[in-house]
Amino acid sequence: MKLPQAQNTWDNNDDSKKTLTRIQIFCPQPRLPEHLRPMLNRKDVQCSWVMTYQALETHALMDQFDLVVFVPGPITDVEQKRRIGKLLQTAQQKLMPIILVSKDPSLANLIPIQDDQVLPRVQMADPDISVEELWGRIFAMLNYSPLFNRIERHMKHLEKWADNLNSRFEELHQELRLAWRVQQDFLPKKLPHTSKFRFAALYRPAAWVSGDIYDIFQIDEKHIGFNIADVVGHGVAAGLMTLFVKRALITKEILEKSYHILPPNQALARLNEDICSLELPEHQFVTAAYGMIDIQTGELTLARGGHPHPLKFDADGQLSLIETEGALLGAFKDVNFGIHHSTLHAGEKLVLYTDGLEQAFGEGSDEQKMIEQVSALSVNKSAQEMVDSLSSLLDCQENSLTPADDITVVVVEAIPD
């Protein structure tokens, strides 16, 4: 008896049968393999059988069935393989489970693979598979398919959320790059150099935006000023605060026909008042040191506020600390800052640094260990050579790629005779 091309065992308008499992068997052969024929006779499922690709393609396949059992038989031409590949791809897109009953290993290459799939939509089965094992495969796929579909939908939502998050991270990255460029523009482009004094600086932010800042600048024809500051905290907020410190530090007053150079202690006192007047909610304090050098006489004037004591090295590398009184900037109003006066003689160096330098030499490092390292580098080296050697030494430290804090160093050198 000749079988019809499509044999449906249910009516789509029959509500009593709509809850039954719907299985489509595709077998382009005159007869369905004998061991698969009992599938058409089960009462707890609705089975249909089509024999041609055209019937399968025009049967609203993916909307009509819960699963397709695909028994293609021998593959005789390229066109047949192409149509199989197209059907498998459509099934994949519509989340339709398919059991591909074939021994042809080349068909496995036609099965679409998606990295985000929890369960493969197309599974291969041997043509000699028993009907019991086939039913086991069918119901395993059908039972777990709704769960895996939900998981995959959630995964797609997570992927979309991750894409949005990555996009936001990229925007934030670009904003940080812009903030870095702005902060770099506030650093001195060229350091002063005189016949008696030379200057050098090391600036190593721990991240895109630094909480440290420094400046070395000409005050007038006789004086060069230099300062270093460290905002308590990290990130963009600390970086923005450094720009305020740079602009708010007033070193001289312009009068009608002259000017008045502010001593470093007075300059820090004014800066402290300006920071306190901001009334910042996060209590962003600042440590700073500011000094100036008379480039004709070598007279050094310096003040500090909560900052590490500057280091002074003689020509032989012998150290003396410059200790002056001064509280954190921004902590209290009406604070007086001490002032230091001395002379920087030929061959001597003055080193200002932020506390990130102390932490750079390993966990548990202290000021004494850092001083020993810097002292060893101060002998028989110019200011720039000293900074270069210090930078190389920091590169060799265990945590050089992930520093705990920003590092800034300013060196003032009285050129040896």
Cα separations (Å) of 360 from 357, 375, 410? 5, 16, 16
What is the CATH superfamily name and number for domain 6-156?
A: Response regulator (3.40.50.2300)
Using alpha carbons only, what angle is made at residue 293 by residues 291 and 299, rounded to the nearest 5 degrees? 110
At 109-135, the pLDDT tens digits run 777 665 555 566 778 888 888 888 888
Residues of the chain with CATH 3.60.40.10: 188-414
Average pLDDT, the chain: 83
96 close to 61: Cβ distance less than 8 angstroms: yes
Residues of the chain with CATH 3.40.50.2300: 6-156
218 close to 224: Cβ distance less than 8 angstroms: yes
The predicted structure's pLDDT at residue 58: 57
The predicted structure's pLDDT at residue 350: 96
In the chain, the percentage of residues whose pLDDT exceeds 90 is 37
Residue 56 CA, chain-centre distance (Å), reads 50
Return all residues near 409 (Cβ < 8 A) that are at least 6 apart: 201, 202, 351, 352, 353, 354, 357, 387, 390
The predicted structure's pLDDT at residue 12: 39
What is Dmax (Cα atoms) for the chain?
Answer: 119
* Rounded distance between C-alpha atoms, residue 120 and residue 148, angstroms: 10
* Rounded distance between C-alpha atoms, residue 56 and residue 77, angstroms: 18
Count of helices and strands (H, E) across the chain: 9, 18
254-279 burial, b at 16+ Cβ within 10 Å, e below that, comes to eeeeeeebbbbbbbbbebbebbbeee
The predicted structure's pLDDT at residue 48: 73
Record the tokens describing residue 201, joined without a space.
């600086």
* Rounded distance between C-alpha atoms, residue 229 and residue 304, angstroms: 10
Residue 65 φ/ψ, nearest 5 degrees: -125, 160
Is 270 or 279 the better-scoring residue by pLDDT? 270
Question: Domain 188-414: which topology?
Answer: Phosphatase 2c; domain 1 (3.60.40)
Record the tokens describing residue 246, joined without a space.
């740079």
Give the pTM. 0.65
At 375-405, the pLDDT tens digits run 888 888 999 999 999 999 988 887 777 788 8
With bands split at pLDDT 50, 70 and 90, how would you rate the model's confidence at 373? confident
